[in-house]
Amino acid sequence: MSYERIVVLGGGTAGWMTAVALATGLQGTTVELVESEDIGTVGVGEATFPSIRNYHQIVGIQEADFLRATQGTYKLGIRFCDWRVRGEDYYHTFGDFGELDGPHSLWGQYRRHVNAGLPKFGEQCLPTVMAMQDRFCAPGQGAASFNYAYHFDANLYARFLRDIAIKRGVRRTEGKVVDVTRRADGGVASLRLDDGRVVAGDLFIDCSGFVSLLLGRTLEEPFLDYSRWLPVDRAWAVPCARTGTALTPYTRATALESGWAWRIPLQDRTGNGHVFSSRFIDEDKAREQLLQQLDGEALAEPRLLRFTTGRRERFWVHNVVGIGLATGFLEPLESTSIYLIQAGLGNLMPLLVPRTRVAPEAIEAYNHGLTRQFERIRDFILLHYCLTARRDTPFWNAMAHVELPETLAYKLHAWRQTGVLHQYDVEGFDGHSWLAIYAGMHCWPERADPRLSDLPLATSLDWVRTRASQLAEAVAPLASHDAYLARILGH
Ligand code: FAD
């Protein structure tokens, strides 16, 4: 089957990202997007992963235009507060820690000087030092390689993408899908809207959000529940006024009694949310805890979102490809949902060559690749919880004793026993990211690479100290995040 006419169902972040990618990469193919304003979108999803910069580059979006349209700010990473124990924090920023293994690994040398009064290991990363001082610059202007992402208003982002998609030829149809007609082979033939119109297509991209109208409800693709590992299942979200404090170039994730709270700085306001497990706390108490967290006055009534962590067994079935929440959700701790939208699009686009049949093997490989992505990200998110030393509430006690998926157990074992940052073939997060969490959660190997001692103690101490002072020197002249952003926006 080749695809001449593609229908995208849903106009949230997933739907419009898909529509822009299709309109840009598949000129000549008819693309129609159906959305219902009555149903609306999730409308949260304000923090991202650096891969969004690649997406913008591929579809030709300029950073300044995007930031202006979406109240966007820069994100160097995430600051985790109270995750290991109350009163302690650490950062996971998108930067490097020098060599990861072998006799010159920074962490290995660092571990030889525990009593030398060095700054925390996790701070030996350029964007972390920048984040701690609320400064920002784009890579290439500083001392070491790093990457960055953004925070933005999800509703404004969907609108921004919608304008681009329509300019590039995507047809937008407003209406609620009330019925789905099937083909003889089990695939989808057309969608019927509430006013009787029919939208037919060869390929349907299901971006209908949690309802998963085509992949889940119509094709009945099974949902694999991950809540035995990631038990959070609700979130309250509320924006609050920006206070006079500096604009932080990072998301803050603070561990609470039965979940955690996000704080996302935008130009005009701050996004906040409390992700929690209803097994451990009731909704009203969770709402109360969120409101107590706010830095400024709440700008709306908190909104409750309900979800189950997990994924569909397959992502492409017959002529339906799911993208976004229609395929699953892993909780927003590392801002990976939009990353997974992109991973889906990145794997899908090369297969959609006009007038060319997609082989079943390619569809199988597509499903296999995304399955691995979901599993790796699940493991990485779970790592943040399972290393906790907190036992002060039933939720944290349960998270400390959760039975790990085999893939994560193996990885942790390799690190603890041998100091190997084991990586699988498909990874959303590289060894530097894993190291940031290990360091932040004080999880170190029982023994280090014996070759580390090849470097004399004094030389290695000097080496480690030099790196710390180089990072401090590199960051000292940088502009504040506020000032840098104002310059990019032309204020
Ligand atoms: P939705 O936004 O739900 O859009 C679904 C679309 O389908 C809508 O347009 C709707 O109208 C349409 N639709 C549904 N049914 C029908 C119908 N019958 N007829 C016609 N149209 C229909 N992601 C991140 O990357 N970073 C984050 O920080 C982040 N935080 C999050 C926090 C929470 C609490 C939650 C729940 C999610 C978060 N996400 C985050 C995920 C992110 O919000 C989503 O991945 C992203 O918004 C994409 O959603 P979507 O487009 O798949 O679904």
Q: CB of 383 closer than 6 A to ligand 1? A: no
14 Cα nearest atom in ligand 1: 51
Q: CB of 235 closer than 6 A to ligand 1? A: yes
Share of the chain above pLDDT 70, in %: 99
> How close is the Cα of 325 to the center of ligand 1, in Å?
6
339 Cα nearest atom in ligand 1: 25
d(CA 399, CA 391): 9
Q: CB of 15 closer than 6 A to ligand 1? A: yes
| Residues designated as active site | 75
Q: What is the pLDDT of residue 142?
A: 52
Tell me which amino acid residue 83 is. W
Residue 143 has pLDDT above 70, yes or no: no
> How close is the Cα of 16 to the center of ligand 1, in Å?
11
Q: CB of 382 closer than 6 A to ligand 1? A: no
50 burial class (0-12, 13-18, 19+ CB within 10 angstroms)? middle
Of the pLDDT bands very low, low, confident and very high (cuts 50, 70, 90), residue 415 is very high
Residue 239 has pLDDT above 80, yes or no: yes
Q: What is the pLDDT of residue 1?
A: 60
Q: What is the pLDDT of residue 99?
A: 87
Of the pLDDT bands very low, low, confident and very high (cuts 50, 70, 90), residue 144 is low
Q: CB of 164 closer than 6 A to ligand 1? A: no
323 Cα nearest atom in ligand 1: 52
Structure tokens that stand for 299 in this block: 């700008």
Tell me which amino acid residue 219 is. L
Report H helices in 245-309. 283-293
Q: CA nearest 204: which of 178, 181, 224? A: 181
What's the rounded mean pLDDT across residues 46-60?
Answer: 96
Cα-Cα-Cα-Cα dihedral sign, residues 477, 478, 482, 483: positive
Q: CB of 35 closer than 6 A to ligand 1? A: yes
Q: CB of 260 closer than 6 A to ligand 1? A: no
What's the rounded mean pLDDT across residues 367-384?
Answer: 97
Q: Which of 140-144, 154-158, 193-197, 375-379 has the lowest mean pLDDT?
A: 140-144
> How close is the Cα of 15 to the center of ligand 1, in Å?
9
Are 302 and 290 in contact by the 8 Å Cβ rule? The answer is yes
> How close is the Cα of 44 to the center of ligand 1, in Å?
8
Alpha carbon nearest to ligand 1 atom 46, residue: 13
> How close is the Cα of 208 to the center of ligand 1, in Å?
7
> How close is the Cα of 40 to the center of ligand 1, in Å?
9
Other beta carbons within 10 Å of 359: 10
Cα-Cα-Cα-Cα dihedral sign, residues 277, 283, 284, 288: positive
Q: CB of 271 closer than 6 A to ligand 1? A: no
Q: What is the pLDDT of residues 309-368, one digit of tens each?
A: 999 999 999 999 999 999 999 999 999 999 999 999 999 999 998 778 899 999 999 999
